[in-house]
Amino acid sequence: MQLARAGRSRPAGSALAASVADLVALQGAGERIDLESLRGRRTRALLAGPYRSPFRGRGIEFDEVRAYRPGDDARFIDWRVSARRGRVYTKLFHEDRERPVLILADAGPSMRFGTRGCFKSVAAVRAAATLSFAAHHASDRIGGIALSPAGREEFPARRRQRDLLRWLAALAQASSIALAPASSIALAPASSAEGAAADGLAAAVARLSKLAQSGSHAILISDFYGLDDAARLEIARLAQHRQVTCVLVYDPLEAEAPPPGRYRVSDGAQVSALETGGRATREHWGQHFHARREALRALCVEQHVPLLPLRTDQSVVQAFAPVTRRARA
C-alpha cells in the first residue's frame, strides 16, 4: 500500500535501492562495530579464530598457571614458577575459536516502503553490509541469505574479500525495485505482501540454520511482519546452538499516524483516499506495529537474544552506536 500527499516528491534514488558503491562506503562504519558486545553466549565453533572459548587447552592466549596434574602436557610446565614454589606448575591457555557470521537480510515485499530516510529494504541491506564489514574486519567468515520478492540467494560463510564483494552485490540486487509513481511514497505493505513475508521469514530462518554451524553468530534483519508461529519456532531452534541477534527495521509512520489529512493510498494498481484526522483512526494506527514489536521482544527475552531497533530515518552509525568501539571506550 502506498500513501501520497499533494506537493510531496518521491524519495531520492538512493532511498529506493542500494548500490554496491553505497554499501562499500559503509566499510568505515562497520570497522567501528564491536561484534563481541552482541555476544549472547560463548562460542562453540571448532576452527581457529580470534575469539576466546570456554574450553581450556593449547592455544595462543595465556590464561593462568596452576599446579601440574596427571595428564597435563609436560611441554607447558612453567619451570620458573615450579622452581620458585618448589612444586610443578603448568601453563594454561584459552583456545581461540572461530565464530562465522551469517546474516539474514530481509528485502522482501513488506520491506518495500518508507516515508522517511529510505525504504526499509534499503535500511536492512545497509545494516547487513555494515555488520559484514565488522565481521570481515575481525577476520570472521561472513555469509548469509539475501531475501527478496524474487526468492532468496544463499551464501555460505567465506573469508576472502572477493566473496564479501559478491555478498554485497547480492544485497544490492535484493534491494533493487521498480520505482514507484512519482506522486507516491510507500507507507505500509499490502496484505498480500504480508502473506509473502510470512511464508518467507520462517523458511529463510530455517535455511539460515542449515548454513550456520553450531557456535556461529546469526543476525536477523527484518521488519518481522512474518513472525508467525512457524517463524518463532525456527528462531528458537536457531538460538539453541548459535548466538542470535535480531535487528527490527521500521518506518516512523508505522508507529505513529501521519498528520491529520486526506491521503491517496495505492496498492500499485488502484488508488483510494485515506482520512487520518479521526480519533479512532489515530488511536488504532500503531496498534499493529506495537503488537508486532512486543511479540518480537518477548521472543527475544525468552531466547536470550539481543534486539536492536533500526528506524529508516536513522543512519547505520546512529542505530549501532551502543555497540561501537567508541561508545564502549
Cβ partners under 8 Å of residue 101, min gap 6: 35, 131, 132, 135, 140, 141, 142, 143, 144, 157, 216, 217, 219
Taking 70 as the pLDDT cut, the residues of the chain under it are 1-13, 38-63, 71, 93-98, 177-199, 265-269, 325-329
pLDDT digits (tens, 9 = 90+) for 34-77: 887 765 433 333 344 444 444 344 345 566 788 887 767 788 89
> Residue 102: which H helix or E strand, with range?
strand 101-106
pLDDT digits (tens, 9 = 90+) for 217-238: 999 999 999 999 999 999 999 9
CA 92 to chain centre: 36
What are the distances in angstroms from CA 313 to CA 110, 116, 122, 251? 17, 5, 11, 8
